[in-house]
Structure formats: structure tokens, C-alpha cells
Amino acid sequence: MKFSSLLLAAALLAAPFSLAAQHQHGAKSGAAHGHQAAGENHAHNSPHGGIVRTAGAYHLELVQQAGALHIYLLDAKEATVAPTGTAGTVMLLTSTGKSSTATLTPSGDHLVATLPAGTTLRTAIVSVKAKGQSLSARFEKLDASKVKPAKAVGAAYNCSMQCEGSASDKPGSCPKCGMALVKNT
């Protein structure tokens, strides 16, 4: 009995800290996501199919393509923000342990960094100066193979987090993570 009272007291003391660590992502997602540190990965939409990290009041999305990294600046509602007046660099660490720095240059609605030929990127640390703010985010394990689950034949909806077994022919919630299923494009 005494142990359960101590457990309850500890849970009540921790509650204010866990509540303070959550934030809202506007009307689009409607759900609070708990996180405590900038750059942490949690259930964000990735409008361009990349990896999204929190960076101050913004988010940074990294999309890795052959020979280049595409970085999108996203607002609190995860909409793309034009990179007007934005400058930055990305520190690169390869799978072989070599490091280098690449300059981010504006290209349409995002920033691009060219990768050296044959680079297998392990980690990217993005630093940008945007809208008068210095923003940074760390993207790790980029060389890990990402096998996307096959979509079920006839499935019109899938989880945006690509959870296995989330394919459905009607809208609903993901059975694994609980996020809303999105219509396939």
C-alpha cells in the first residue's frame, strides 16, 4: 500500500513537467506533441516526404536525394516558408567518418546543399539564419536503410508515419500510432 502511494505522489509531481513539454501545432494537426528539445523528432507531417525536426518556432525538413540535400523551412502549422533572405550551412558526417561543410543555397521554395559524389551520409547538422533567428537541427542515422512498407492493393489511405499495417480503404486512425490516416496521392 505504501509503495502505491509513493508511486502516485511521484506521478503527480512529474505531471506539471510533462504538460509543460507539450505544444500545439495549429488547426491542421489538432493534437499536442510532447517534446522537450529543439531538433527532436516526433509525429510531424512531412510535406515533402523527408524528416522533420523542431527548430525554435519553426521546423526544418530534410529531404535526401542523390547528390543533394533539400532543406525546407516550415512554420508552426508545418507549411513551407519561402527562404527569402535565408542563409545557412550543413555539417556533413559520412558513414566512413569523414566530415565536411556544405553551403545551403536558395532554390525555389527551399534550400539545397550539394553532396560530394559517392557520399553516404550518416549525420547532417543544419544551421540557418531565417527571419532574424538562428535555427539548427540535427538529423542522424541517415544511412540506415528505410524500407517503406508496401501499400495494400486497393488501399486509399495510409498512415503518414508509414506504420506497417496502416493501409485502409476508408479514413480513420492508424492502429499502431493513432495518427489520422491520409489519402494516398
129: CATH: 2.60.40
Using CA atoms, how far apart are residues 146 and 142, in angstroms rounded to an integer?
Answer: 9
Write out the residue range of the structural domain in which residue 79 sits. Answer: 1-143
pTM, rounded to two decimals: 0.58
Per-residue pLDDT of the chain (185 residues; tens, 9 = 90+): 454 444 434 443 443 333 333 333 333 333 334 443 444 445 677 888 899 999 988 999 999 988 899 999 999 888 999 999 898 999 999 988 999 999 999 999 999 999 888 888 999 999 999 888 999 999 999 887 543 444 444 567 888 877 777 788 788 888 878 888 888 87
Q: Please check whether residues 139 and 176 belong to one and the same domain.
A: no
Q: Please check whether residues 128 and 172 belong to one and the same domain.
A: no
Q: Please check whether residues 60 and 136 belong to one and the same domain.
A: yes
| Chosen domain end from 143, 161, 177 | 143
Cα torsion angle, 6, 7, 9, 13, sign: positive
DSSP for 67-127, written as a single string:
TEEEEEEE-TTS-EE--TT-EEEEEEEETTS-EEEEEEEEETTEEEEEPPTT--EEEEEEE
CA angle 43, 54, 61 (to 5 degrees): 80
Q: Please check whether residues 160 and 130 belong to one and the same domain.
A: no
Q: Please check whether residues 8 and 28 belong to one and the same domain.
A: yes
Q: Please check whether residues 139 and 151 belong to one and the same domain.
A: no
Q: Please check whether residues 1 and 88 belong to one and the same domain.
A: yes
pLDDT digits (tens, 9 = 90+) for 122-167: 999 999 998 889 999 999 998 875 434 444 445 678 888 777 777 8
Output the pLDDT for position 119: 84
Nearest by Cα to 177 from 11, 29, 19:
29
SS3 59: strand
Nearest by Cα to 123 from 179, 57, 64:
64
Q: Please check whether residues 90 and 178 belong to one and the same domain.
A: no
The half-sphere exposure of 58 on its side-chain side, counting CA atoms within 13 A, is 23
Q: How many domains does the chain have?
A: 2
Q: Please check whether residues 98 and 110 belong to one and the same domain.
A: yes
Q: Please check whether residues 73 and 34 belong to one and the same domain.
A: yes
